[in-house]
Structure 1
Amino acid sequence: MARHLPPLNALRAFEAAARHLSFTKAAEELHVTQAAISHQVRALEEVLGVTLFRRFNRRLMLSDAGQQYLPQLSEAFDQIDAATQRLRSEEDHGILKVSVANSFAAKWLLPRMPRFYERHPDLDVQISASDRLTDFTREDIDMGIRYGRGHYPGLHVEMLMDDLVLPVCSPRLLEGPRPLRTPADLRYHTLLHDEVAQSGFPDWRQWLIEAGVTGVNPDRGPRYSHASLVIQAAIDGQGVALTRTSLVSLDIEAGRLISPFGPILSSNFACYVVAPPSHVGRPKVKAFRDWLFAQIAHERSGADGPHAG
């Protein structure tokens, strides 16, 4: 049902003037001029067709209509204010919703989340794992971690960390009748592929060229839809994966994977923390952002390892 309401500014001017019984104090509260308050009140009286104030030389009094109107109008503004405060509290301190690529969520973020909860036990995080880029204008997401070139128009963007690309495999592949000792030994082993690696990301063909290896078909071997699957296949001894250092650091530390040889390649891709500019100042967004960068700083220092707080 359509509401036929007077102009909001006029209502605010009347309500403040009626509470203070002063146009001057109402103007101070609303940060406008006394003339503006007077103009808004007269406009409201014209819209309503009633007189709201009885005006004297040095004082102001409410008319009968004004006395009847003020309590309900003040209550309505109080309800709007309370609803606004509840909404702001939810936005600032409710569940933090973070969009993260599947493999980064599984291999980097989730193993480190207990350290975040140690610092922020009252802040719950909902991790939305998807390789699709989030549309912040349509989706209820506070912030994201993206892997790419850093060009995300309309968003606040900070580079979290760069990444290197290296071959990894199970330590078991160093044994057996065809031990993996040098890049040339790859001809005897299965190459594992990430089929959704972004265009421009180093692949086996580029790596073999950099390694100076010939006689190895860079296209052979199984393909997987997520880097985390490629890594798990490598852990299981099914072949050799070419992947990002950020995704395998914990597996290497735990001895589940090794990097048998170089070269280690750089790329034009990195991990970025992104958020709409209006979200950046939210306490829960800032808390998570600050923890991410502190975590990276600890790991790079090598002082406390990847599980540092």
Structure 2
Amino acid sequence: MTQPDSSIAQLRRLPPLAALRAFEAAARHVSFRQAAEELGVTPTAISHQVRLLEDSLGFALFVRRARGVVLTDAGRRLFPTLRDGFDAFERAIWELSPRPRRVAVTLSATTLFTVRRILPAIGRFRERFPDYDLRLHASDDPVDLIAGEADVAVRYGSGAFRGLVATPLLAERFGVLCSPKMAIARPNDLRGATLLHIEWRRAGKAPDWRRWARLAGIEGLAVDRGPRFTEDDHALQAAAAGSGVVLSGLALAQPTIDAGLLVHPFGPVIEGEAYHVVTTPDNRDAPAVCAVCDWLREDVV
């Protein structure tokens, strides 16, 4: 085919854009009705634009039939070029259009709190706050919020975190947990059971078996015997498997209790402290931080 010379090509002697767009949509759907729905016009308007294009080109693009339309050979040859051209227009415009930058917000929490409470609710955060990317930092070592190592933290304690703003989130209590298969129904049943121990980092306030036995008024319980775990979750998994009875936080074990894998058969309980949402005074009102705090209060606990 003879190509137009450069001077003519620069004039862009093309049919009206509306007619080309109508044809491309009609050819893609092979339907004037569906093309009209896509472009928000009537089928008559699509038919009119296609007819204008055919008159401009001097050849037919569709064969009109009672039950629809069929592309002619010329229409089949023209359609891919127009389709690719419109796709290229859309892609170029999208790439050039300014888009709001997504905001990343980092939440730090202990490993067990992250596994037991945060991860099950992570989908709800994406639903409620699609413009924020939540980054999780799971560690039992506290991060330096002032230095910007995280934006928000969940910390366990009295709430007196120097230089930070803390809001109570979830109170913790410690009690006896075991698999329902162990059929432990009374405190005296513990005498024949394997006691599982968690090596708490805060030894001064550790909810250990000795404290629990004293509170329960049980004497002669082998409170120093049994396997020891440095990770809370490992002890809970062992208890759920029926390997023994553990003294652990009831709040963080609640999802496993709800699933029927663990039971809290009897008291007493040891009152603990609370999990707090912690921010800095400077960022407490930042929209991303407020989103995380709202989500923690309303969906996580």
Q: TM-score, normalised by structure 1?
A: 0.62
Whether the aligned pair in 1 keeps the contact of 2:153 and 2:277 (CA below 8 Å) is yes
Larger Rg: 2
Q: Deviations for 1:210-266, whole angstroms, at most 9, x for unmatched residues?
A: 111111111111111121111111111111111112211111111011112111221
1:221 counterpart = 2:226: yes
Opposite residue 216 of structure 2, the aligned amino acid is A
Whether the aligned pair in 2 keeps the contact of 1:95 and 1:123 (CA below 8 Å) is yes
Whether the aligned pair in 2 keeps the contact of 1:108 and 1:246 (CA below 8 Å) is no
Partner-residue secondary structure (3-state), 2:282: helix
Q: CA deviation at 1:294?
A: 1.9
Q: How far apart in 2 are the matches of 1:152 and 1:251?
A: 30
Whether the aligned pair in 2 keeps the contact of 1:145 and 1:272 (CA below 8 Å) is yes
Q: Deviations for 1:70-128, whole angstroms, at most 9, x for unmatched residues?
A: xxxxxxxxxxxxxxxxxxx87xx521111101111111111122222221223221110
Opposite residue 270 of structure 1, the aligned amino acid is A
Q: 2:240 aligns with which of 214, 217, 235?
A: 235
> Deviating runs (4+, > 4 A) in structure 1?
none
Gaps of 5+ in 1: 1-88, 175-179, 300-309
1:131 counterpart = 2:135: no
Q: How far apart in 2 are the matches of 1:123 and 1:235?
A: 36
Whether the aligned pair in 2 keeps the contact of 1:194 and 1:226 (CA below 8 Å) is yes
Q: 2:149 aligns with which of 133, 140, 148?
A: 140
Q: How far apart in 2 are the matches of 1:219 and 1:139?
A: 42
Q: How far apart in 1 are the matches of 2:266 and 2:175?
A: 8
Q: Deviations for 1:116-156, whole angstroms, at most 9, x for unmatched residues?
A: 22212232211101111111244531110001121111011
Whether the aligned pair in 1 keeps the contact of 2:208 and 2:247 (CA below 8 Å) is yes
Opposite residue 116 of structure 1, the aligned amino acid is F
Q: TM-score, normalised by structure 2?
A: 0.63
Partner-residue secondary structure (3-state), 1:159: strand
When the two chains are superposed, the root-mean-square deviation of aligned CA atoms in Å is 1.9
1:282 counterpart = 2:286: yes
Partner-residue secondary structure (3-state), 1:216: coil
Q: Which residue of 1 aligns with 2:205?
A: 200
Q: Which residue of 1 aligns with 2:193?
A: 189
Partner-residue secondary structure (3-state), 1:277: coil
Whether the aligned pair in 2 keeps the contact of 1:159 and 1:272 (CA below 8 Å) is yes
Whether the aligned pair in 2 keeps the contact of 1:162 and 1:271 (CA below 8 Å) is yes
Opposite residue 233 of structure 1, the aligned amino acid is A
Partner-residue secondary structure (3-state), 1:124: strand
Question: How many aligned residue pairs are there?
Answer: 202
Q: How far apart in 1 are the matches of 2:146 and 2:128?
A: 30
